[in-house]
Structure 1
Amino acid sequence: MGYRHVFSDNFYRAEIDPERIGVQHYEEAIIQDIEFAAVQTGARIVIIDNLTYLCNSSEKGDVAGLFMMKLMALKKKHALTLLVISHTPKRNLSNPITQNDLAGSKKLYNFFDNVFAIGQSAQDKRIKFVKQVKVRASEYMYDSDNVIVYEITNEDGYVRFLHKGYGKESEHLRDKSEEDESQVRSYILTCHREGKSVREIADLVNRSKTSVHRIIAREKNKEDVGPVEGVPPGDVGQVGQVGQLGQSETVRVHGRSGFRDDLVFEMDDNHCF
């Protein structure tokens, strides 16, 4: 038989009525209800879990930005402390956590005074690490060289983080594989086809602009140099008469578009047409 954890009497938990999800002016109604609940209970700290569920359009920068502006106005009006939780989209666990991993538009990032992320350690599924991603008015203490390490534990029905110490983020990242690199290249090309700039893509994948440009250019070269129609593999440029290196050789090109089959080309000393 398990244990039931008893929370403080000062802890109030509110849920959204499922029947009201998606109604007209849904986000505005949520803001009003948060304000009403905070005033009625005298709460000074409000935790929102999570932003995506609360704001149906959090993936759209303009709509999510307007929603955050209303939350910020509520915070200032009642001198509240807001803790807004936002889940990250699927990400490559080989890469360090950055502001680009925030779900939805990067515009949301500008509204927060401080941002920290909880990462999954590659060492153990029970191990998590906490990293500061943005600091506006305090000291930057827990960056990639000094993340806080925790272990998820369950004691007397209370699932919590047990502090284990400190470490480097790199110690908790998964080793990069060829599959990871392939996924990054594929994502870069997808973003490029969607019309994103090299700078935007570089920010998204945490790579330099030069690296992103090189991957895009390499793919473009592959598309420009396609296979010759009607030519079996290995048939183009086969040597008809093999001579000594440095001597002229005759090469017959079969079935090449725009050329007769009986044309004979001579290669120079560098074996170029």
Structure 2
Amino acid sequence: MMGTSRLLTKVSDEIRAKEVQLQQSKAQQGCLIIKSANTWINEAKNRPIPNMLFSEFWYETELCILFADTNIGKSILAVQIADSISRGVAIRGFKLEVQPKKVLYLDFELSDKQFENRCSQNYTNHYQFNSNLLRAELNTEFNLPKDCKNVEEFLTKTLEKTIVDNGISVVVVDNLTFLKTDNERAKDALELMKFLKYLTKNNGVSILVLAHTPKRNSSNPITKNDLAGSKMLMNFCDSSFAIGASSLEPSLRYLIQIKQRNTEHLYHSGNIVVCRLAKESNFLSFQFEEFGAEQDHLKETSFSDISERDDRMKALISEGLSNVKIAEELGLSEGAIRKRRKALGL
């Protein structure tokens, strides 16, 4: 009796396995995987809901692009985000919903000495990172394999193996122009984004890619069109956000959402996140200040510089005008005038 029972169980398991194999065979037709909508949903139920890595700007397993003009602070914020995820500790003013994760920071921007300077007090009293954060530079003395056309191809082939061998969950690429020097060309952009998207799907990693903007008019709001090679890059990423420089003070920056799939559009032009770029002790970082309107931080075309606008504001103050009236005159919000007066001690 027991032998018969085992035999029936074995036959039943084999039938079930063949049914699954048959279903998979039917689902895979050429380059497509076809299943009923309900099947897709039922299978998705078994996968975890993506958590926030950097508030609603970036979620787990997303391919996210962070872009800004040069010298605005992309690398500074990216290192800060990587440090936060590796520790499992949120940046003040932002949300983090994951436990500590292993992060790989591909740094093609700074030398080790430049990196040290940002994370120390004049090369002393160094900031201590968590061991979960790994930093990588390009080995300039490597020999290019015969089956690779260029450095970029060799790097992309190396990256997946590095992720698997080191148990990496999060990757930061600083920056996009190194991986593909011709990223503004549609063909190259498509190839690159397909590869990065493949890594998020196949390896379950979350990827943040830093990118530059072409020269832009700082009096205009930031849009997706400000990303170099924007059309193809923006189509293939899951989310994107940008950093803008504020015209109110040299140390102020603002973050604005450009694209999102896992959340509603929260951080739009009317609700940007304003931060101050500062170095307290031994770590250069973005420090949360407030929420605001992008218009308040854009350069006014009617003034040649901030000092000229400040002079006009002082003149209006001397005339006894209220902050509301001054704001109307200068095209700013009342809050922006109040903040600027406080900064100037007026």
Bin the TM-score by the shorter chain: 0.5 to 0.7
Q: Could you tell me which residue of structure 2 aligns to residue 110 of structure 1?
A: 235
Per the alignment, residue 53 of structure 1 pairs with 178
Q: Partners of 1:72 and 1:61 in 2: how far apart? A: 16
1:122 aligns with 2:247: yes
**2:300 aligned partner:** 175
The structure richer in helix per residue is: 2
Quick one: which amino acid aligns to residue 162 of structure 2? A
Q: CA deviation at 1:125?
A: 1.5
In the TM superposition, residue 41 of structure 1 has moved relative to its aligned partner by 1.5
For residues 112-261 of structure 1, what are the structure 2 equivalents within 5 Å? 112-177=237-302
Counterpart CA distance in 2 for 1:156 and 1:37 is 33
SS of the residue corresponding to residue 161 of structure 2 reads helix
Structure 2 distance, partners of 1:159, 1:46, is 21
Unaligned runs of 5+ in 1: 180-273
Q: Residue 41 in 1 paired to residue 166 in 2?
A: yes
* Superposition pairs of residues 86-101 of structure 1, within 5 angstroms: 86-101=211-226
Residues 174, 210 of structure 2: 8 Å contact kept: yes
Offset of residue 28 of structure 1: 2.2
User: How many residues of Structure 1 are paired with residues of Structure 2 in the alignment?
Assistant: 179
Determine if contact 1:153/1:160 at 8 Å carries over to the other structure. yes
Deviations 1:92-130 (A, max 9, x none): 000000000001242111011111001100111110000
TM-score if structure 1 supplies the norm length?
0.62
1:7 to 129, 139, 152: 129
Q: Distance in 2 between matches of 1:20 and 1:177?
A: 53
Shift of 1:20: 5.4
RMSD of equivalent CA atoms: 2.0
130-139 vs 11-20, which deviates more?
11-20
Q: Hey, what does 2:201 align to over in structure 1? A: 76
Check 1:177–1:24 CA distance in 2 against 1; reply closer, same or farther (3 A cut): farther
Q: Give the distance between the partners of 2:141 and 2:229, measured in 1 at CA.
A: 25
For 1:57 and 1:17, the matched residues in 2 are separated by 21
C-alpha spacing 1:42/1:90, structure 2 compared with 1 (3 Å): same
Residue 151 of structure 1: how far off its partner (Å): 0.2
Aligned counterpart for 1:17 among listed residues 126, 136, 139: 139
CA contact (8 A) 1:58 1:105 kept: no
- Residues of 2 paired with 1:65 and 1:19: CA distance? 29
Query: TM-score w.r.t. structure 2 length?
Result: 0.49
What amino acid is the match of 2:243?
I
Residues in 1 aligned to 2:274 and 2:132: alpha-carbon distance in whole angstroms: 28
Q: Distance in 2 between matches of 1:19 and 1:89?
A: 31
* Amino acid across the alignment from 1:93: S
Match of 1:18, SS state, is coil
Unaligned runs of 5+ in 2: 1-120, 305-346
Whether the 8 Å CA contact 1:27–1:67 is kept in 2: the answer is no
Partners of 1:19 and 1:69 in 2: how far apart?
Answer: 28
On the 8 A contact 2:193/2:237 being kept in 1, the answer is no
Spell out, residue by residue over 1:39-87, the C-alpha distance to the aligned partner (whole angstroms, 9 max, x if none).
1221101001100112121121111211110111122111010111111
- In percent, how many aligned pairs have the same letter? 37
CA distance in 2, matches of 1:152, 1:57: 31
- Could you tell me which amino acid in structure 2 is paired with residue 60 of structure 1? R
The answer to whether the 8 A contact 1:94-1:176 is kept is: yes
Confirm or deny: 8 A CA contact 1:48 1:84 kept in the other structure.
yes
SS at match of 2:133: coil
